[in-house]
Structure 1
């Protein structure tokens, strides 16, 4: 291996510093802590507000975005392009959504849509490929993924302490009519930290000191997580827990099958109860649109918004409306432009958002990328040979389900920090999976040499050309994957 890969690098450290700052500081536009003026939001303005607004430099990007682009550019300059199959799959996953959005922009401009509005609608979409590439780079040295996990854990401990201070001493121990305690994205951070604390407590339960420490951390973070009351995060976390059996090694899965059966039975009962006793409106009625009838009085803002988006899908079923326009108002939405100017151009449900504006290509790109990530993280878990690999697969599962629910039911594509975590902990698993495949192939090759006649090839037998490798030197920190 080239010696430069064994030397400590400032680039991963710079990535971890940016990751830590983005998690530690708050976005003022997210109205963190409601009426409480948090100092983390005041400082966060320097990182998350537009450079033109904060620094007077005529750039319509935030400092966080510029630093993210710069780090990804340095990675590509120093590291270059890879020829491995997993890198190509990662690249495909990373650029499917931006490619679909680019097609939607072209079709929109050809129809006379406004290019400036299209840029506003897609401002944060590039964060998906940028952070998937950055995550892949960190995953080439899994120790940096571990450091990212610890950074997330300790920052969530701090966020929980500060959130409880605000709840007890600023809010007087009552949420009142407040919608959330911290902000929307913080539930995703806390869900991953809860997963980390729970995993560590479960796997180190024989060490009472560690068990009590991680148990206390879990309890500390659980309180603000519940008070933050983000239903999309609750659903995402439950989905991750239900999918855990599918990412475990077979030996562990067999030992825990009775627990999984009990959990599945409880989940079926709870879901059935929710379906039977749901208070959701059973029909639409009163205001006509074509053959459909809509009772506005029975619909909340999100339901009206989703209905209008589906009308847009019906109007342009093949290529979508194209970006640079606003979605139809078959049922007029309440005018909230005083707080969100683009309320009729950027809806809450960004899954339907892609379908409406980018057509089937948009939603297909998102689903395909999600399936690739789910497939890779499940294989990492199933083939895990150490607690570290199993932990990374578990956290990857949580972040992908959190991101998926946030994208499906809220403005997930517009939240850059959520895309950041998804990129780090899902994109970082691609090279981890590659490393596992390489080491397994090499082990089989060595076993073949011991049990059978000598072979002439120096490469592990049966290994695809895209994954062929050189035998790693002792102490090598990373491989070309």
Structure 2
């Protein structure tokens, strides 16, 4: 950027533009006249920073501020992190009132930081060191994703006559995902960044857990309000990720320091999960623990746990039977399982809303099982649903079950293209875990697996594919799984030897002058 600005004609042109804009604002809108100067100074500062620092800052903001598109606190309270959440996740035209800005700040950050990295590479600027590349299969899967999105857009809009306005929001977050992975890949040097990512996630979890508890205990209950959730539905993925960070760090490296940290962090996150009251969080956490248990080696702790499980197994059917009739107290976990299986209204002789919606979406898929309908189409309402258009006008374009939605709109062909990258990421995470020797590396693979499970559950249960938070976390997990596979040799790569010297420590590649 310094080389770019050092060119006198370019510098003078930009300076002239800045002066003209500032003078125009002085005449028309004096209150905001300093803004161009402030933004220019901020942009100059940003362009001097390493992409790694900028990416970690963007990731920290994304997992900490309010997820405004999902209406945190059911719209009854605006936390101190609400306005930053609006800037980051909502279209700037709606936030700033300036027409033509039909994109969120998050999009600008991702594209801008990638463009900055490419500019430095093209011009030989060595601010950012080289980083290990991702395995080829993962790269192919991430390229297939936007290609599939583009095909479903053409097929749905131009061939089947769908609604182009709504179609964009059916695939926007999925289309941004490969760009997020690309940014994480060029920004994160390797395993030395894992601790920074873990700390950011834990701070984000604790912040949202405390804000959610404050809202329920200090605002909602004193006023007699009842709320279905505290922060947002997608925070379930964040909470599971935070739990995985501290639990698997201790399991892979059982030191007293890790144990103490695990206890207080888990206490705060479970408090947040309790007040957020999302069954999906508990289900995803249990599934992630089961996956980690099956993947982990036969340590003394695992052998003891297996002995306890075998001893208690004969009593489990009785525990389940009693808890099914009285799902309270110590039988609370049975109540969660029962509510997931039966739904909320089956006991009253009525079908649950989600069950009716799933049947409608399955019927839509059956009408076009191979190719689907493409983007821009509604699912068929064979069984009438309660009309919620007053709260969500486009609800028939966005079924809660995103997995069935991808099958309905994309068919088997489209669904395969949209989720190939996820299958490859899971495969790489498992292989990397088997090959890793460092405790931090192994814990990273288990955390990535927990994110994959939580994201898949969120997609199956609650519009996960259009969640900004889920997309950010799954992009981070896919990048970490790919890098671990490269560095551990789980996916053979000649390039990896440059990043793993003979002492086994990763860092700047051997021979790299940066």
TM-score, with length taken from structure 1: 0.79
1:378 corresponds to: 430
Matches within 5 A, 1:13-162: 13-34=53-74, 35-55=76-96, 56-75=98-117, 86-108=134-156, 109-162=158-211
Q: Contact 2:192/2:506 (CA < 8 Å) preserved in 1?
A: no
User: How much has 1:171 moved relative to structure 2?
Assistant: 2.4
In the TM superposition, what whole-angstrom CA distance separates every residue of 1:170-194 from its partner, at most 9, and x where no partner exists? 1237996311121112222122112
Match of 2:227, SS state, is coil
User: How much has 1:36 moved relative to structure 2?
Assistant: 2.0
How many equivalent pairs are there?
433
**Is 1:409 matched up with 2:461?**
yes
Question: How far apart in 2 are the matches of 1:255 and 1:46?
Answer: 46
**Is 1:354 matched up with 2:406?**
yes
User: How much has 1:280 moved relative to structure 2?
Assistant: 3.3
Match of 1:125, SS state, is helix
1:434 corresponds to: 486
Q: Contact 1:139/1:430 (CA < 8 Å) preserved in 2?
A: no
2:305 corresponds to: 259
Match of 1:333, SS state, is coil
Structure 2 vs 1, CA of residues 348 and 76 (structure 1 numbering), >3 Å: closer, same or farther? farther
1:280 corresponds to: 342
Q: Contact 2:499/2:507 (CA < 8 Å) preserved in 1?
A: no
1:396 is aligned, of 448, 454, 457, to 448
1:363 corresponds to: 415
Q: Contact 1:134/1:423 (CA < 8 Å) preserved in 2?
A: no
Question: How far apart in 1 are the matches of 2:499 and 2:216?
Answer: 56
Question: How far apart in 1 are the matches of 2:107 and 2:222?
Answer: 37
Question: How far apart in 1 are the matches of 2:465 and 2:104?
Answer: 16
Question: How far apart in 1 are the matches of 2:316 and 2:378?
Answer: 40
Structure 2 vs 1, CA of residues 302 and 479 (structure 1 numbering), >3 Å: closer, same or farther? farther
After TM superposition, the structure 1 stretch with the greater mean CA deviation from structure 2, 463-472 or 155-164, is 463-472
Question: How far apart in 2 are the matches of 1:89 and 1:79?
Answer: 24
1:183 corresponds to: 232
Q: Contact 1:26/1:41 (CA < 8 Å) preserved in 2?
A: yes
Q: Contact 1:134/1:424 (CA < 8 Å) preserved in 2?
A: no
Structure 2 vs 1, CA of residues 312 and 203 (structure 1 numbering), >3 Å: closer, same or farther? closer
Match of 1:54, SS state, is helix
Question: How far apart in 2 are the matches of 1:76 and 1:315?
Answer: 45
**Is 1:164 matched up with 2:206?**
no
Question: How far apart in 2 are the matches of 1:174 and 1:377?
Answer: 47
Question: How far apart in 2 are the matches of 1:241 and 1:227?
Answer: 22
User: How much has 1:141 moved relative to structure 2?
Assistant: 2.2
Q: Contact 2:356/2:385 (CA < 8 Å) preserved in 1?
A: yes
In the TM superposition, what whole-angstrom CA distance separates every residue of 1:11-54 from its partner, at most 9, and x where no partner exists? 01100000111112113232212322222113311221102212
In the TM superposition, what whole-angstrom CA distance separates every residue of 1:436-465 from its partner, at most 9, and x where no partner exists? 118xx9xxxxxxxxxxxxxxxxxxxxx676
Question: How far apart in 2 are the matches of 1:477 and 1:218?
Answer: 31
User: How much has 1:101 moved relative to structure 2?
Assistant: 2.6
Matches within 5 A, 1:438-449: none
Q: Contact 1:185/1:418 (CA < 8 Å) preserved in 2?
A: yes
In the TM superposition, what whole-angstrom CA distance separates every residue of 1:340-368 from its partner, at most 9, and x where no partner exists? 12101111111011100111023223443
Structure 2 vs 1, CA of residues 298 and 471 (structure 1 numbering), >3 Å: closer, same or farther? closer
In the TM superposition, what whole-angstrom CA distance separates every residue of 1:219-262 from its partner, at most 9, and x where no partner exists? 122112122122222222111111113432x453x762442465
Match of 1:326, SS state, is coil
Match of 1:157, SS state, is helix
Instruction: Identify unmatched segments of 5+ residues in structure 2.
Output: 1-47, 123-129, 325-333
Q: Contact 1:308/1:328 (CA < 8 Å) preserved in 2?
A: yes
After TM superposition, the structure 1 stretch with the greater mean CA deviation from structure 2, 266-275 or 387-396, is 266-275
Q: Contact 1:247/1:393 (CA < 8 Å) preserved in 2?
A: no
Match of 1:329, SS state, is coil
User: How much has 1:405 moved relative to structure 2?
Assistant: 0.5
Matches within 5 A, 1:462-481: 472=501, 477-479=507-509
RMSD over aligned CA atoms reads 3.5
1:332 is aligned, of 378, 384, 387, to 384
Q: Which has the higher helix share?
A: 2
After TM superposition, the structure 1 stretch with the greater mean CA deviation from structure 2, 174-183 or 106-115, is 174-183
Structure 2 vs 1, CA of residues 219 and 196 (structure 1 numbering), >3 Å: closer, same or farther? same
Structure 2 vs 1, CA of residues 349 and 470 (structure 1 numbering), >3 Å: closer, same or farther? closer
Q: Contact 1:97/1:365 (CA < 8 Å) preserved in 2?
A: yes
Structure 2 vs 1, CA of residues 299 and 47 (structure 1 numbering), >3 Å: closer, same or farther? same
Q: Contact 2:135/2:486 (CA < 8 Å) preserved in 1?
A: no
Question: How far apart in 2 are the matches of 1:337 and 1:277?
Answer: 26
1:418 corresponds to: 470
Structure 2 vs 1, CA of residues 174 and 201 (structure 1 numbering), >3 Å: closer, same or farther? farther
2:280 is aligned, of 206, 218, 232, to 232
User: How much has 1:160 moved relative to structure 2?
Assistant: 2.1
Question: How far apart in 2 are the matches of 1:337 and 1:379?
Answer: 46
In the TM superposition, what whole-angstrom CA distance separates every residue of 1:380-438 from its partner, at most 9, and x where no partner exists? 22222111101211210111111110111111110112111111122222122211118
1:221 is aligned, of 252, 264, 269, to 269
Structure 2 vs 1, CA of residues 155 and 280 (structure 1 numbering), >3 Å: closer, same or farther? closer
